Amino acid sequence: MKNYLTQLNGREQTALHCIKKLIAQQWQAQLIYCFGCTTNISIKRTAFSKKQLKEERRFTCELLIIVPDNKVIDEAGIKDMQEMVAHFGTVHMVIHPLYFVIKQINEGNLFFNWVHKNGMLLYDLNNTTQLLPEPVAGEYRTQAEAFYNMDAGMNNYLNVKFTPIVKPEKPNTPKPVEIKLMLDAANGWQPMPDKNI
């Protein structure tokens, strides 16, 4: 699990902090991960105006919000939340209860495993991350990137599982064989009699 929050500029950090705070308070979220964010900056300059600079910023983020098992968030609740955070930016939310996320991680769901491994953890109520299974190994990066390149909108995220990586087995090295011989002057080399017989 990584935290890239320090790599974001001040406005992005402030936006994520405020969005996280509102969601955590309103929905009693247990975990909030950011698995993608975009800042678009548009600067307009013209020779026909004294004001030479017009700057527009648009911030968009994708969040995985893990709520208590008994918490139900309907479409109206999501719409209300999007209106509350709209002045910070556009927020795309994937919302699931904790038991469902744990089940998906255990079953090898690519999305939940990869967000757990590489997502930006914004909020963790009472160390809830300790309830999650260990994240997958980095060797699955190729599969995660292929999934994202084929479905950047994450439309099929519930149905995609990791394909197990089969590591080549080490060749079996033969066990040494012990041969005991006895030199008999009359008959030459003879196998030693086995004492166990």
Confidence class for position 6, pLDDT limits 50, 70, 90:
low
pLDDT on residue 1: 39
At 59-82, the pLDDT tens digits run 889 999 999 999 888 899 999 999
pLDDT on residue 194: 67
Give the mean pLDDT of 38-56: 75
pLDDT on residue 38: 85
Give the mean pLDDT of 181-185: 66
Query: Which residues are CB-neighbours of 157 under 8 A, at least 6 positions away?
Result: 94, 109, 110, 111, 151
99 near 69, Cβ under 8 Å? yes
Domain residue ranges of the chain, discontinuous segments joined by +: 5-150
Judged against a pLDDT cut of 50, whether residue 22 lies above it is answered with yes
Give whole-number Cα distances, 3 to 8, 87, 119, 126, 142, in Å: 11, 24, 7, 18, 21
Give the mean pLDDT of 19-47: 88
Confidence class for position 196, pLDDT limits 50, 70, 90:
low
At 115-174, the pLDDT tens digits run 998 899 999 999 999 999 988 877 778 888 888 878 777 777 888 887 777 777 777 777
How many CB atoms within 10 Å of residue 73? 18
108 near 127, Cβ under 8 Å? no
Q: What is the pTM of this model?
A: 0.74
**Residue among 25, 30, 34 at smallest CA distance from 89:** 34
Residue with the bigger pLDDT between 175 and 189: it is 175
CA 44 to centroid of chain Cα atoms: 37
pLDDT on residue 44: 76
Judged against a pLDDT cut of 60, whether residue 3 lies above it is answered with no
pLDDT on residue 126: 93
SS3 annotation, the chain? CECCHHHCCHHHHHHHHHHHHHHHHHHCCCEEEEEEEEEEEEEECCCCCCCCCEEEEEEEEEEEEEECCCCCCCHHHHHHHHHHHCCCCEEEEEEEEHHHHHHHHHCCEHHHHHHHHHCEEEEEHHHHHHHCCCCCCHHHHHHHHHHHHHCCCCCCCCCCECCCCCCCCCCCCCCCCCCCEEEECCCEEEECCCCCC
